[in-house]
Structure 1
Amino acid sequence: MAQRKAIIFHGTGANPDVVWLPWLRRRLAERGYAVEAPHHPGLNVEPVATFLPRVLADHTFDEDTVLVGHSGGAALLLALLQHIEARVDQAFLVAGYCTPPNAADEPVLQDAYDWSAIRAHVRDLYFINSRDDPYGCDDQQGRAMFDRLGGTQIVRDDGHFGDVDQPFETFELLDRLID
């Protein structure tokens, strides 16, 4: 069996060294994963149509790949899953969304999604959202994706799962869910 790989995408205006992302990288590396955590300052700044091809070119995807995205990084996973050629093992969309969650501009979102292509490119899909997300990346957004894609929806009361004013140093639930 090939080595398992995890690619972790940070959220809008963030970087790979915020909230639980460094902790998850360490945990997965300890479990034998090759972990990639790219820094994408253009995430949700540059239109997804021009941003996505570079992300696709920077990574390889196969049946041993696990994808994790937080906030804008989770929204990016929808476009990524639609356009990859392979089927990945698992995808975790933490505080993800598929429609504008608030009044802010959301260039990471596509105008429309090919939901069947997204579903065909991932074996196991998880949506983890909070009822009390301050940015609108809430359980209703998770439900909208779950209704179109199936998978597993997990609803918490954990805000945005980490933010400048919400320390969230570890994410044990996510560590347990990743095969």
Structure 2
Amino acid sequence: MTNLQNQKQVYIIHGYTASPADHWFPWLQDKLQEDGVSVDILDMPNSQAPQLHEWTQHLLSSIEVLHKDTYFVGHSLGCVSILRYLQQVSIPEQLGGLVFVSGFTDPVPTLPSLDEFTNDKLDYKQLMDSVKMRAVIASKDDTIVPFAFSKKLANDIQADFHEVEHGGHFLERDGFTSLPIAYQVLMDMMKS
């Protein structure tokens, strides 16, 4: 049996109106599991009308152990939700990494119902100190979360920034049932 402290663990956090079965999440889970990585795609509560407290509580109750081989993959609203969670939890040692896809930490003008996730300032220094490697993937033609919002997030957390010309919001309807760039970025982190 593998020691939980030595096994790489990935948590995938979906975004607004999504579920664990959507987009590229199952594909990424399968790819990582083929590599012997433990993967959980959390089913965030009430994704059609998300509430910050509910999402943070769900993360707090679903994630049992954080360690140097813990990695998070967030999509859209999942990204800022991970950051909010990390601000509230005790982190015993620097975590392995964060991979954010179409992430944001500022209010998105077309999605005012999500403002409670972005209203309070984040302690970026504490977040950077808590997580060894950080990456943001964004598409120049994202019509839901503006490219500039993801680029700002990358700057704020001093993350490697990966821009894609034509990815939209990396949704299934944009043609994304797999996301090789996210897999590759995550695997590179795990090998470092």
Does the TM-score normalized on the shorter chain lie above 0.5? yes
1:56 matched to which residue of 2?
60
CA distance in 1, matches of 2:58, 2:14: 16
CA distance in 1, matches of 2:67, 2:82: 15
Task: Give the one of 144, 157, 162 matched to 2:152.
Answer: 144
CA distance in 1, matches of 2:74, 2:54: 19
1:127 matched to which residue of 2?
136
CA distance in 2, matches of 1:44, 1:110: 19
Q: Which stretch shows the higher mean deviation, 44-53 or 78-87? A: 44-53
Matches within 5 A, 1:23-102: 23-43=27-47, 45-59=49-63, 60-86=65-91, 87-102=94-109
Which ranges of structure 2 fall in alignment gaps of 5 or more residues? none
CA distance in 2, matches of 1:43, 1:96: 16
State the number of aligned residues: 177
Amino acid at match of 1:25: Q
CA distance in 1, matches of 2:31, 2:47: 25
Does the Cα contact within 8 Å between 1:81 and 1:122 map onto a contact in 2? no
2:9 matched to which residue of 1?
5
Task: Return the offset for 1:43.
Answer: 4.5
TM-score where L is the length of structure 2:
0.84
Deviations 1:90-129 (A, max 9, x none): 1011000011223221133342111111111110001111
Which structure has the highest helix share of the two?
Answer: 2
Q: Percent identity?
A: 23
Task: Give the one of 105, 120, 125 matched to 1:116.
Answer: 125
Does the Cα contact within 8 Å between 2:7 and 2:38 map onto a contact in 1? yes
RMSD value over aligned CA atoms?
1.8
Aligned CA distance change for structure 1 residues 43 and 80 (closer, same or farther; 3 Å): farther
CA distance in 2, matches of 1:123, 1:61: 13
Deviations 1:38-91 (A, max 9, x none): 111334834324531331121032111110011111221221232232231010
CA distance in 2, matches of 1:100, 1:110: 7
Q: What SS does the corresponding residue of 2:10 show, helix, strand or coil?
A: strand
Amino acid at match of 1:58: S
Aligned CA distance change for structure 1 residues 168 and 46 (closer, same or farther; 3 Å): closer
Does the Cα contact within 8 Å between 1:94 and 1:129 map onto a contact in 2? yes
TM-score where L is the length of structure 1:
0.90
Q: What SS does the corresponding residue of 1:37 show, helix, strand or coil?
A: strand
Report whether the alignment pairs 1:160 with 2:179.
Answer: no
Q: What SS does the corresponding residue of 2:42 show, helix, strand or coil?
A: coil
Aligned CA distance change for structure 1 residues 112 and 49 (closer, same or farther; 3 Å): farther
